[in-house]
Amino acid sequence: MDKAIFISNAAQLITMANHTDQPAKKEAMSQLNLIENGSLLIEDGKIIEAGRDEDIRNKYKNRIQAADHLDASGKVVTPGLVDPHTHLVHAGTRENEYAMRLEGQSYMDIMNAGGGIHATTRATQQAGHEQLYAESRKRLDQFLIHGVTTVEAKSGYGLTLEHELKQLEVAHELQADHPVDIVSTFMGAHAIPMDEKDNPEPFVDRVIEEMIPVVAEKNLAEFNDVFCERGVFTPSQSRRILEAGKQYGLTPKIHADEIEPYEGSELAAEVGAISADHLLKASDKGIREMANADVVGVLLPGTAFFLMADFADARKMIDAGLAMALSTDANPGSSPTISLPFIMNLGCLKMGMTPEEVMTATTINAAHAIGRADEIGSLEPGKKGDLTIFDVPNHLTLSYKYGMNHVDTVVKDGHVRLAGGQLQ
């Protein structure tokens, strides 16, 4: 049995309790279940209880005596942050394209000319397993340094069975080796290979007939994602790919309505996707249908920020009853950041969300977006002992003092993995 750990006296202990059965929607997104002067006890990697300091000390006197103590006075404790949409495993960077975009070229034009996702696909195909592992591991460290304890990670820079498997295997290995948990998504349908642009159907067939069955058989992914966008995969190709994944037990996710309205949101509702991501141009009808179908909307404002595009209208979507999560979309082209706290800042400053809503969107609702709400996303008995301690006196300061890293300590599965901002 691991040594117990007692975290005490937090100025604010944000438990996010009571949202495990259902993702938080509308007013529920403001309910943090915040305890002032809060403490919690973790034993054997799992939360025993979180509550008022006095109550927890009285109830667990002896067990607390045997535990390691971590004093959180003057600080804010939250559930470990959850990033529900990343392209963690890839090789190389694309700062050259950033410079081209600053001079006025568009993201899609660069991609259609063979750059963009194709550039990272070439780099990822050429990279050996070890290089891919090393580059991705560094990023995972950075996630931890910024308070994140679980990330979803997509394939999609392989575009052949061999190289898609290589990406998923690296993710699988990191899941075993690194404290941050990884939830894997197959995204063979991330781009149509350059030399098949004019005749994409055979590639769609390969995703369905060759890749999905093997990925499922090897148990390398839980979710199946498609980039449904004009010039990439059409709604009907996306539907075929997502339905095929369902036959093999892969739950649909979708990159929807990012650049143009393209009925990706409607498709998400139709196929029963667990989440629909991006949604900058989602139609009102699509938003309604997703809300009714309990799809979680995952917004990625780092992409709008970095591509200098209009932001998604989070306010409208929350008010329409869509459960909302936030993510970095960490990738080398449209959002090369791993800072989920910065994404929370953008949620407040650029998408009309409140500080409470962005907290919900990066904890319990993010956990729902990756099917993990029963294990993570809140500080409740039986859940994983995953938490982040921010060196701020209240959570409002997280979005007030923006663009800096306030993370002091990260506990993962009951172990201190970051202390004083240093990896342990």
Please report how close the Cβ of residue 304 comes to ligand NIG at its closest, in angstroms. 10
Antiparallel, parallel or unpaired: β 81-83 and 148-154: parallel
Terminus-to-terminus CA distance in the chain, angstroms? Answer: 20
- Burial of 80 per CB tally in 10 Å (0-12, 13-18, 19+): buried
CA distance linking residue 420 with residue 424, whole number of Å: 10
For ligand NIG, the closer of residues 80 and 302 by Cβ is 302
User: Which one among 38, 80, 84, 116 touches ligand NIG, defined by CB under 6 A?
Assistant: 116
Q: In the bound complex, which residue of the shown chain has the CB atom lying closest to ligand NIG? A: 333
CA 331 – CA 307 distance, rounded (Å)? 12
Number of residues in contact with ligand NIG, rule: CB under 6 A? Answer: 13
**Is residue 115 part of the contact set for ligand NIG (CB under 6 A)?**
no
Distance CA 326, CA 37 (A): 28
Does residue number 225 form part of the binding site for ligand NIG (CB under 6 A)?
Answer: no
Please identify which residue in 133, 227, 262, 305 interacts with ligand NIG, judged by CB under 6 A.
Answer: 227
Contact partner at residue 252 from ligand NIG, Fe ion, none, CB < 5 to 8 Å by partner kind: none
* Site stretch for ligand NIG (CB under 6 A), options 13-21, 289-297, 325-333, 355-363: 325-333
Tokens found for residue 399: 């979005």
d(CA 168, CA 249) in angstroms, rounded, equals 17
How far, in Å, are 78, 150, 160, 196, 247 from residue 217 at the CA level? 37, 24, 16, 27, 12
Indicate the residue among 160 and 405 with the shorter CB distance to ligand NIG: 160
Task: Decide if residue 83 touches Fe ion (CB under 5 A).
Answer: no
Pairing of strands 5-14, 34-43: antiparallel
- Residue 78 binds ligand NIG (CB under 6 A): no
Contact 142, 338 (CB under 8 A): yes
Q: Determine whether the annotation assigns residue 258 to a binding site.
A: yes
CA-CA distance, 281 to 259, in Å (whole number)? 7
Residue 87 assigned as binding residue: yes
- Check whether 415 is labelled as a binding-site residue: no
Tell which one of 333, 341, 355, 377 touches ligand NIG (CB under 6 A). Answer: 333
Q: Which residue has the tokens 């403490």?
A: 39
Q: Does 255 participate in binding ligand NIG (rule CB under 6 A)?
A: yes
Shortest reach from residue 72's CB to ligand NIG, in Å: 35
190 assigned binding-site residue: yes
Which CA distances in Å does 278 have to 250, 326, 367?
20, 10, 17
SS3 state of residue 38: strand
- To the question of whether residue 198 is assigned a binding role by annotation, the answer is no
The neighbouring-strand residues paired with 51 are 39
Given a contact cutoff of 8 angstroms between Cβ atoms, the answer to whether 377 and 16 are in contact is yes
Smallest distance, ligand NIG to C-beta of residue 295, A: 17
Site string for ligand NIG, 268-307 (x = CB under 6 A): -----------------------------------x----
Q: Residues at the annotated binding site for Zn(2+)?
A: 85, 87, 255, 329
Interface contacts to ligand NIG, rule CB under 6 A? 87, 116-117, 120, 227, 255, 258, 303, 329, 331-334
Q: Residues at the annotated binding site for N-formimidoyl-L-glutamate?
A: 157, 331, 333
